[in-house]
A and B are shown apart, each in its own frame.
Chain A
Amino acid sequence: MRNPLADKVVELKPSGIRKFFDIVSEMQDAISLGVGEPDFDTPWHIRDEGIYSLERGRTFYTSNSGLKELRTEICNYMKRKQGIQYDWAKEVIITVGGSEAIDIGLRAMCNPGDEVLIPQPSYVSYEPCAILAGATPVIIDLKAENEFRLTAEELENAITDKTKVLILPFPNNPTGAIMEREDLEAIAEVVKKHDIIVMSDEIYSELTYKGEHVSIASLPDMQERTIVINGFSKAYAMTGWRLGYACGPRIIIEQMTKIHQFAIMCAPTTSQYAAVEALKNGDADVAEMRTSYNQRRRFLLNAFKEMGLECFEPFGAFYVFPCIKEFGMTSDEFATRFLEEEKVAAVPGTAFGDSGEGFLRISYAYSLDKLKLAMGRLEHFVNKLRAEQGAK
């Protein structure tokens, strides 16, 4: 039989997180700190709106770009939060999670040989999506000493005459790093100078703990060269609803809509109705969840400090990214031993890129009680490793 597979797909590296997942799932009664989604249920009034839309029999396709009402609400939201005005009819598309927006955005923009700049550590799908879009991913290794922010210098050094798109993943998964206004201004200058398009993945924009999130699209002359990606998963605890969106220049959104139309048709109708409610009446829920995440964030940072584990203070998302280099192990070895000996699962930093080596992603989308239990075990583990080192 002939080879039924596409080389491009076969050659994609499987997600590093998958390998770890397989080990964890075989382990009974392990505590997990490895989840990249909120522990809260979707607020009831939002779920209720989804249920109501089903009761009314709203079970048909929506327009390809999504419900007008939802796109209008998204425009209101962008205006209210970032001061950016988008045309609901031509500059917004509703997608199946932020993930789809990343995929179709890259496919709409990249020609073979175009280079896509991907700062890492970052979410696992940018690199494969760029490859599948026919582009050449170029990795920028972010540094711990910069608190995993992207600097103008790093960006400048990575740019060639083939560079087309910069992916800007902040607030960042897995590091929790954020980019503040001054950081973004420096990046914007370089981007404009080299005429690059920015794909700004702002899925964690509602979860920052030091001032309000700033979108690079809100800086002067940046809206015309930025695709903003966001969604409902993290802010409103709606991961399973699979709903995201992209806002950007009309010519790009138009082509994204074409791909979306053929591949997806439209995002889930029930989810879209629920999302309208989320944007209209969900601010208080977001604030409450943010407060709770912030408390857990402080708890973890203090626990690390007490056990002498190095960790920069992250101000975004719901991850902390402690450094485990002192133990002379790879992230993979550390995470595997931590799981086997203490039954706690945390994701090795390398699952998010080579520059994650020496770090561990710990999610705080867990109750304080669970985090407390896990930190007790981490302290025990860290002390054991230090004793081992001392004995050598």
Chain B
Amino acid sequence: MREELLAVIEKNSRIDLKELAVILGVEEIDVVNELAALEAEGVICGYHTLVNWEKTSIDKVTALIEVRVTPQRGQGFDKIAERIYKYPEVRSVYLMAGGYDLMVILDGKTLREVSMFVTDKLSTLETVNSTATHFILKKYKDHGTVFSQKSEDEREMITP
């Protein structure tokens, strides 16, 4: 049940427990227990909403920042990653294989705000060697969801 449960709620975390039990073919109490276990084990880390901010009047810029760092003795990349992810404006931090070490995804109100963060906060960290900042111009698809998709049913109304 675990795998199918996760697949369903990853797409729709608002589905109610009773319905979840019905479509998975199990008892509601089993769903409740499994969700509790998944949360306790840290498998489920949150229930978020996917927002297309471009459709609101709120201005937001998102930047992807490639960061090259010097790993610290005994702590590897974890310590420096922590220094970075503690900033609330940092949305995600990933350790990467390839041409750089950390991918930092940052939300800001303006380009200037993001630039300030990079120059004032990020670049000044001792272990940070260099950064390269990329701004997102448009989001076509996020979390598996296409933002501009029309979902009209183009099939015939009745077919044998």
- A interface residues, Cβ below 8 angstroms from B: 15, 17, 20-21, 24-25, 30, 32, 34-37, 39, 123-125, 173, 291, 294-296, 298-299, 302, 345, 347, 351, 368
Contact = CB atoms under 8 A, between A and B. Distances in A.
A39 B158 CA distance: 13
Nearest to A351: B160
Contacts of B24: 295, 298
Interface in B1-41: 4, 7-8, 19, 22-25
A346 to B, nearest CB: 9
Given A295-B8, A299-B22, A299-B23, A36 B160 contact: yes
A25 B160 contact: no
Contacts of A35: 155-159
Given A15-B160, A17-B160, A298 B155 contact: no
A112 B159 CA distance: 31
B26 to A, nearest CB: 10
B153 interface: yes
A24 B160 contact: no
A127 to B, nearest CB: 12
Contact of B158 (A17, A123, A173, A294): A17
| Leading 5 A-B pairs by shortest Cβ distance | A295-B23, A34-B158, A21-B158, A302-B22, A32-B157
Contacts of A123: 160
Given A291-B4, A291-B7, A298 B22 contact: yes
A345 B22 contact: no
Contacts of A173: 160
Contacts of A351: 160
| Most B-side CB within 10 Å, residue of A24, A124, A173, A295 | A295
18 contacts: A15-B160, A21-B156, A21-B158, A24-B157, A25-B157, A35-B158, A35-B159, A36-B160, A37-B159, A39-B153, A123-B160, A295-B23, A295-B24, A298-B24, A298-B25, A302-B22, A345-B157, A347-B158
A294 B23 CA distance: 8
A32 B157 CA distance: 6
Contacts of B157: 21, 24-25, 30, 32, 34-35, 345
Contacts of B4: 291
Contacts of A345: 157-158
Interface string B133-160: 0000000000000000000010111111
Nearest to B153: A39
A34 B23 contact: no
Interface string B80-121: 000000000000000000000000000000000000000000
Contacts of A36: 159-160
Nearest to B159: A36
| Most A-side CB within 10 Å, residue of B23, B158, B159 | B158
A351 B160 CA distance: 9
Contacts of A25: 157
Contacts of A294: 25
Contact of B23 (A17, A20, A298): A298
Contacts of B156: 21, 35
Contacts of B25: 294, 298
Contacts of B158: 17, 20-21, 24, 32, 34-35, 345, 347
| Most B-side CB within 10 Å, residue of A15, A35, A351 | A35
A124 B160 contact: yes
B144 to A, nearest CB: 12
Contacts of B19: 299
Contacts of B160: 15, 17, 36, 123-125, 173, 351
Contacts of B153: 32, 39
Contacts of B23: 295-296, 298-299, 368
B22 A34 contact: no
A34 B153 CA distance: 13
A36 B158 CA distance: 7
Contacts of B155: 35, 37, 39
Nearest to A367: B151
A20 B157 CA distance: 10
A44 B25 CA distance: 30
Contact of B159 (A34, A125, A291, A298): A34
Contacts of B7: 291
B149 to A, nearest CB: 11
A179 to B, nearest CB: 21
Nearest to B23: A295
Nearest to A361: B160
Nearest to A30: B157
Contacts of A17: 158-160
A296 B8 CA distance: 12
Contacts of A15: 160
Contacts of A39: 153, 155
B7 to A, nearest CB: 7
A292 to B, nearest CB: 9
A374 to B, nearest CB: 13
A145 B19 CA distance: 29
Contacts of A32: 153, 157-158
